[in-house]
């Protein structure tokens, strides 16, 4: 059965939104007549210009597709009454509706996210919550499914969302095959954090970056200042001074952030006992890991694991 997928673009859309269609395109190579019919839409049709002024030909809104996706813009703007009405109708007639990045604003404006969990690019999460208080915004998610409404974070996460849509339609094996062709991870779970500890620390020098990469790849090690300094080719005293100057954190706190990030990924995977998570991420024991989670997240890892299961249950509903 050929499923119809429509992607709505408006002037100022982000070109990365088109990457979501690439996953469907690869699916069609395997599925043939049982794949997807892809249509690029806009309210009036014709050429739509991206934020980089590249033009894409579109067809006007008409027949409702099985899956309607709304692309995001660099800065979200209110949608026109006609487009808003079409998206609202999709909530009743389409099998599912997805807002990519700031496309979540269009879904919210059409009322499709009222009393539902949703995400968007972290830089606009507070704006989404303030403008649409009935939406339960979770700024720390890669993508969220709540009923028939799907939303994703920054633009690259639209690929993760699309892989999840394909997996829902045709199973995990096909989604894994497409992920390999796209050279992306299959697939970042919807609950994975938008933030990366390495990105948040933003080291300027290659030496500090080398030390952080060494730490991330060797979390089971004690990761003392001496070990990190050796990876950075600096003396321990120089390393501590340079590290704090570049990152604003002590080496010990940065290592803890990396351990917490890795522990969260293992918890999100859902297959690892707490003792294994603590051991593999270098916390040594569950109690140390628990104290670190409480300091940073305000809840123990067991509570986080339960909340992730609830999110997954909502996504699967």
Contact 88, 111 (CB under 8 A): yes
Considering the domain architecture, whether residues 76 and 207 belong to the same structural domain is answered as no
Domain boundary among 115, 150, 182: 182
Question: What are residue 118's DSSP bridge partners?
Answer: 137
Considering the domain architecture, whether residues 160 and 210 belong to the same structural domain is answered as no
Q: Is residue 189 part of a domain?
A: no
What is the residue range of 134's domain?
3-182
Residue 47 has pLDDT above 90, yes or no: yes
Average pLDDT over residues 137-153: 89
Q: Which is higher by pLDDT, 193 or 81? A: 81
Confidence of residue 27 (pLDDT cuts 50, 70, 90): very high
What pLDDT score was predicted for residue 277?
93
pTM: 0.65
Q: Is residue 187 part of a domain?
A: no
Q: Is residue 112 part of a domain?
A: yes
Considering only CA atoms, which of 101, 200, 116 is closest in space to residue 159? 101
Q: Is residue 283 part of a domain?
A: yes
Domain boundary among 132, 158, 182: 182
Helix (H) or strand (E) holding 37, with range, is strand 36-42
Average pLDDT over residues 162-191: 80
Q: Is residue 190 part of a domain?
A: no
Q: How many CB atoms lie within 10 A of CB 239?
A: 22
Considering the domain architecture, whether residues 248 and 128 belong to the same structural domain is answered as no
What pLDDT score was predicted for residue 128?
96
Considering the domain architecture, whether residues 31 and 119 belong to the same structural domain is answered as yes
Would you say the C-alpha torsion 57, 60, 66, 67 has a positive or negative sign? positive
Contact 9, 69 (CB under 8 A): no
Tracing tokens 């050796």 back to the chain, one arrives at 230
Q: Which is higher by pLDDT, 175 or 61? A: 61
Domain boundary among 153, 182, 211: 182
Average pLDDT over the chain, rounded to an integer: 88
Average pLDDT over residues 288-317: 70
Q: Is residue 138 part of a domain?
A: yes
Least confident of 123-137, 183-197, 263-277: 183-197
> 103-132: per-residue pLDDT in tens?
999 999 999 999 999 999 988 999 999 999
Calpha distance 104→140 (Å, rounded): 15
Considering the domain architecture, whether residues 58 and 121 belong to the same structural domain is answered as yes
Highest mean pLDDT out of 13-27, 95-109, 194-208, 279-293: 95-109
> 269-296: per-residue pLDDT in tens?
677 889 999 999 999 899 999 999 888 8
Considering the domain architecture, whether residues 110 and 208 belong to the same structural domain is answered as no
- In the chain, how many domains are there? 2
Considering the domain architecture, whether residues 19 and 119 belong to the same structural domain is answered as yes
Domain CATH code at residue 285: 1.10.10.60
Confidence of residue 314 (pLDDT cuts 50, 70, 90): very low
Confidence of residue 266 (pLDDT cuts 50, 70, 90): confident
Considering the domain architecture, whether residues 206 and 152 belong to the same structural domain is answered as no
Considering the domain architecture, whether residues 158 and 25 belong to the same structural domain is answered as yes
**What proportion of the chain, given as a percentage, has pLDDT over 90?**
65
Residue 187 has pLDDT above 70, yes or no: no
Residue 194 has pLDDT above 80, yes or no: no
Domain CATH code at residue 109: 3.40.50.880
Strands of the sheet containing 149-152, edge to edge, are 46-49, 55-60, 36-42, 3-8, 67-70, 96-99, 149-152, 143-146
What pLDDT score was predicted for residue 307?
56
CA dihedral 68, 74, 80, 81 (to 10 degrees): 60
Considering the domain architecture, whether residues 30 and 84 belong to the same structural domain is answered as yes
Considering only CA atoms, which of 150, 144, 179 is closest in space to residue 30? 179
Question: Residues near 70 by Cβ (< 8 Å), separated by ≥ 6?
Answer: 7, 8, 87, 97, 98, 99, 100, 103, 106, 107
């Amino acid at each position: 059965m050929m499923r119809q997928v429509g992607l709505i673009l408006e002037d100022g859309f982000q070109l990365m939104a088109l990457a979501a269609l690439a996953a469907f395109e690869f699916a069609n190579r395997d599925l043939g007549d049982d794949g997807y019919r892809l249509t690029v839409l806009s309210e009036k049709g014709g050429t739509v210009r991206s934020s980089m002024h590249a033009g894409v030909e579109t067809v006007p809104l008409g027949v409702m597709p099985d899956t309607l996706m709304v692309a995001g813009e660099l800065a979200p703007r209110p949608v026109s009454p006609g487009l808003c009405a079409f998206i609202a109708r999709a909530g009743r007639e389409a099998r599912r509706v997805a807002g990519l990045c700031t496309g979540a604003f269009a879904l919210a404006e059409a009322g499709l996210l009222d009393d539902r969990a949703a995400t968007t690019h972290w830089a606009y999460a507070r704006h989404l919550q303030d403008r649409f208080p009935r939406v339960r915004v979770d700024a720390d998610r890669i993508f969220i499914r709540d009923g028939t409404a799907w939303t994703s974070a920054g633009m690259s996460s639209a690929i993760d969302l699309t892989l999840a849509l394909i997996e829902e339609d045709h199973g995990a094996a096909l989604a894994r095959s497409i992920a390999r062709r796209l050279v992306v991870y299959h697939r970042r779970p919807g609950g994975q954090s938008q933030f990366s500890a390495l990105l948040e620390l933003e080291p300027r020098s290659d030496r500090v970056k080398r030390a952080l990469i060494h730490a991330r790849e060797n979390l089971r090690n004690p990761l003392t200042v001496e070990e990190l300094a050796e990876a950075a080719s600096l003396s321990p005293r120089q390393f501590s001074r340079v590290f704090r100057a570049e990152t604003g954190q002590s080496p010990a706190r940065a290592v803890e952030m990396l351990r917490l990030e890795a522990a969260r990924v293992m918890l999100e995977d859902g297959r690892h006992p707490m003792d294994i998570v603590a051991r593999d991420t270098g916390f040594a024991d569950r109690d140390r890991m628990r104290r670190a989670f409480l300091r940073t997240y305000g809840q123990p890892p067991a509570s986080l694991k339960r909340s992730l299961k609830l999110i997954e249950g909502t996504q699967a509903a």
